[in-house]
């Protein structure tokens, strides 16, 4: 495998966020502050150290193989960062992988490294700190398998512009889910007005992340190629809803509210869009899957 450049997406740890929140860059001082607030600093420090050591392991091995790399922080990445690189390498957990995925619309591969498997979900990741050296060497030797994971896409209909590709789910509703969202949902030639805490749409591959935790979510038996939608926490107010969940080839949601959001894989920045009153978002299966390194020989 000929790799000349790797883009590393580095996860910010909880301590990284705390440094910003408390405006304190000295770790020891910050830990004292957090201890005074009776926070469990042991877990925070373990996660932070594991992230740093994993990143050191990754960069050391890339240097040994004479592979150029660039490190960007997950929260600061932009689409331009993903140009001119051969391999995308999220270092963190599934959230780090999902934060990078919307920026890649072509066939380039992802090689994820789970930095803290004790408390981090890593179903999209190919290796951990302990297995990375062996697995990445075998990857370079061509001893690996690729999983091509289908994605949804969201298109604002009046602009005909695709706003993002979702690996897990597309959410349409209020930014704060405790607020009521008002909209019309159209699927399978049927339309219904709803007032709920929002709609979650997912394919079978992405549903376990969020959607399948909702009470109305169903198994995909016989609907493997369909999109499932779930309308969450309906506000009945005398209404008899008939379309709170189901399967379809596509879904259209028309905003009947002042401002709804469309979120791609729970993204809160570049892939969070506003759906204005009367605008429609079309959710359908895309032709741009994500290619991730899934199995690598040890």
- Work out the mean pLDDT of the chain and round it to a whole number: 92
Helix locations, the chain, DSSP H: 14-21, 27-36, 41-64, 94-100, 129-140
Whether the per-residue pLDDT at 80 is higher than 70: the answer is: yes
Lowest mean pLDDT across 182-191, 236-245, 281-290: 236-245
**229 phi and psi angles, rounded to 5 deg:** -115, 150
5-142 matches 152-288 in fold: no
- The predicted pLDDT at position 95 comes to 92
User: What is the average per-residue pLDDT within 182-207?
Assistant: 95
Neighbours of 238 (CB within 10 A): 4
Contacts of residue 168, defined as CB under 8 A and 6 or more positions apart, other chains included, come to 98, 202, 206, 209, 210, 265, 266
The stretch 59-63 carries a mean pLDDT of: 97
pLDDT reported for residue 202: 95
Report, as an integer, the average pLDDT of 157-162. 80
pLDDT digits (tens, 9 = 90+) for 243-259: 999 999 999 999 999 99
Task: Decide which of 3.40.50.720, 3.30.565.10, 3.40.50.10330, 3.40.50.300 is the CATH code for 5-142.
Answer: 3.40.50.10330
Ordered by start, the domain boundaries in the chain are 5-142, 152-288
Fold of 152-288: Tumour Suppressor Smad4 (2.60.200)
pTM across the whole model: 0.89
- Over residues 203-222, the pLDDT tens digits come to 999 888 888 888 788 889 98
- The CA distance from 114 to 146, in Å, is 17
Is the pLDDT at 237 greater than 70? The verdict is no
């Amino acid at each position: 495998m000929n790799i000349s450049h790797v883009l590393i997406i580095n996860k910010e740890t909880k301590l990284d966020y705390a440094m910003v929140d408390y405006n304190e860059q000295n770790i020891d001082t910050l830990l004292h502050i957090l201890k005074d607030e009776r926070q469990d600093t042991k877990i925070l420090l373990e996660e932070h150290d594991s992230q740093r050591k994993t990143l050191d392991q990754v960069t050391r091995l890339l240097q040994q193989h004479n592979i150029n790399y660039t490190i960007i922080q997950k929260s600061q990445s932009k689409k331009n960062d993903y140009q001119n690189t051969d391999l995308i390498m999220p270092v963190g957990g599934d959230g780090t992988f999902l934060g990078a995925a919307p920026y890649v619309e072509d066939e380039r591969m992802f090689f994820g490294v789970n930095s803290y498997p004790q408390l981090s979900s890593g179903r999209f990741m190919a290796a951990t700190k302990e297995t990375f050296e062996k697995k990445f060497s075998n990857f370079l030797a061509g001893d690996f398998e690729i999983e091509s994971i289908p994605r949804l896409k969201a298109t604002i209909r009046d602009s005909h512009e695709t706003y993002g590709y979702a690996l897990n789910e597309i959410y349409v509703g209020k930014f704060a889910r405790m607020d009521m969202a008002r909209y019309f949902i159209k699927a399978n030639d049927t339309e219904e007005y709803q007032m709920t805490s929002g709609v979650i749409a997912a394919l079978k591959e992405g549903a376990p992340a969020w959607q399948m935790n909702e009470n109305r979510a169903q198994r995909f038996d016989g609907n493997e190629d369909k999109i499932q939608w779930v309308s969450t926490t309906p506000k009945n107010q005398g209404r008899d809803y008939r379309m709170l969940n189901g399967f379809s080839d596509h879904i259209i949601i028309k905003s009947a509210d002042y401002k709804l959001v469309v979120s791609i894989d729970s993204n809160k920045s570049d892939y969070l869009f506003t759906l204005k009153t009367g605008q429609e978002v079309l959710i359908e299966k895309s032709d741009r899957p994500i290619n991730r390194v899934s199995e690598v020989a040890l």
